[in-house]
């Protein structure tokens, strides 16, 4: 029994932060203190700041999201690469700098990390890169807007987001509003199953579709409280499965863009996107859909991120209590 508990304890305890110092990763003092003292921490990506909306709206939204995390008992850790240094947690000045630079900052997925660091560049982390750094620091909950996935016509283009493979190999719970509705949601869910990712819908049987609560796809699992979500993450962590968890939180109905209008805009944007490839596709589509919906999709995007931050912070707090209790008992 002692041997079994010892193995489990290695899986649930946070790694010492000194190893990040050795790797040249900077952890903000507030985040370092929270991780050392057992306070819940929520990772936040930075692509949504630099590429998701214009300045100063992006800066104000980022501030509001961080404030929501704090108001619900956790510490925010926005992740980015600044002047070649991976940063877990940003100061207000750094956050504003990132927001002002906007699309001049490199959109950075896992594959891009070495290049951005080697060139001492600035990188806004996507879901995959944010998960990577969060896991290195022992942060178990990450809040974003929506994840990438299998693109429509992906069976021909092979355009599949690295977010999905990262979820298959990195033990971080991603709280989001589902898969971006510009993507092929059924195929994305199939791909997540292949990767061994636990997919949970929060308080609904249907997997959410980013701008709208409904995708027409039944979720594999359902959790009706933040405590249930924490239980699922705890079980995954104790067993050392090594894979991530995707928690889909539907956008509140009062903020949801009209599904019919969004789908019409997506079809038009997809037609216009012919010839655009790689990591430029999603930013183009989101921007064009926002234009075609008269700003409704961006307004919905902001509201869903705030709602995800609320839920994610509560999950992180509930999870920290559980893991702390288990560590003491072992």
Is 155 marked active-site? Answer: no
DSSP 197-228: -EEEEESSSBPPBTTBS--S-B-SEEE-SHHH
Strands (E), the chain: 26-27, 41-44, 75-82, 85-88, 106-108, 123-125, 141-143, 173-176, 198-202, 221-223, 245-248
Of 107, 136, 140, 180, the catalytic one is 180
Give the CATH number of the domain where residue 122 resides: 3.40.1790.10
Q: Where do we find the tokens 């022992």?
A: 138
Give every CB contact of residue 126 below 8 A, 6+ residues apart in sequence.
45, 47, 107, 108, 109, 148, 162, 163, 279
10-residue averages of pLDDT along the chain (330 residues):
37 69 95 95 96 92 98 98 98 98 96 98 98 97 95 80 97 94 90 97 95 91 98 95 97 79 81 80 81 85 95 97 62
Q: What angle do CA 302, 307, 312 make, to 5 degrees?
A: 125
Q: Where do we find the tokens 């620091």?
A: 137
Is 96 marked active-site? Answer: no
Give me the number of domains the chain comprises.
Answer: 1
pLDDT of res. 3:
36
pTM for the model: 0.90
Calculate the average pLDDT of the chain. 89
Measured between alpha carbons, how far is 215 from 37 in angstroms, rounded to an integer? 40
pLDDT of res. 1:
33
- In sequence order, what are the beta bridge partners of 221? 200
pLDDT of res. 156:
75
In degrees to the nearest 10, what's the CA dihedral of 12, 16, 20, 23? -100
pLDDT of res. 290:
83
Range of the domain at 156: 2-329
Measured between alpha carbons, how far is 313 from 19 in angstroms, rounded to an integer? 26
Cβ–Cβ under 8 Å, residues 135 and 171: yes
Measured between alpha carbons, how far is 141 from 135 in angstroms, rounded to an integer? 9
Give every CB contact of residue 284 below 8 A, 6+ residues apart in sequence.
269, 273, 276
């Amino acid at each position: 029994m002692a041997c079994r508990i010892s193995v489990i304890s290695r899986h649930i305890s946070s790694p010492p932060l000194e190893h990040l110092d050795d790797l040249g990763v900077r952890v903000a003092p507030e985040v370092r203190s929270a991780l050392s003292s057992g306070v819940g921490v929520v990772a936040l990506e930075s692509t949504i700041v630099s590429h998701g909306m214009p300045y100063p709206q992006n800066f104000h939204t980022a501030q509001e999201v961080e404030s929501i995390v704090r108001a619900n008992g956790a510490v925010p850790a926005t992740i980015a690469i600044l002047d070649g240094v991976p940063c877990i947690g940003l100061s207000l000045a750094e956050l504003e700098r990132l927001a002002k630079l906007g699309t001049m900052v490199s959109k950075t997925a896992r594959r891009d990390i070495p290049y951005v660091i080697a060139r001492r560049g600035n990188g806004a982390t996507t879901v995959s890169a944010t998960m990577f750094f969060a896991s290195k620091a022992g942060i178990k909950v990450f809040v974003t807007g929506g994840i990438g996935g299998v693109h429509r016509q992906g069976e021909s283009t092979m355009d599949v987001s690295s977010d999905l493979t990262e979820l298959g190999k990195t033990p971080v719970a991603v709280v989001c509003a589902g898969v971006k509705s510009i993507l092929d949601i059924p195929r994305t869910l199939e791909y997540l199953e292949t990767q061994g990712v636990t997919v949970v819908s929060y308080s609904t049987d249907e997997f959410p579709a980013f701008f709208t609560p409904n995708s027409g796809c039944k979720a594999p699992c359902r959790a009706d409280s933040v405590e249930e979500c924490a239980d699922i993450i705890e079980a995954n962590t104790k067993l050392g499965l090594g894979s991530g968890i995707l928690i889909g939180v539907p956008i509140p109905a009062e903020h949801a863009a009209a599904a019919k209008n969004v789908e019409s805009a997506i079809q038009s944007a997809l037609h216009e996107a012919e010839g655009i490839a790689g990591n430029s596709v999603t930013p183009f589509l989101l921007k064009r859909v926002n234009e075609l919906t008269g700003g409704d999709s961006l307004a919905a995007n902001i509201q869903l991120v705030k709602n995800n931050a609320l839920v994610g912070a509560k999950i992180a707090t509930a999870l920290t209590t559980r893991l702390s209790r288990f560590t003491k008992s072992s």
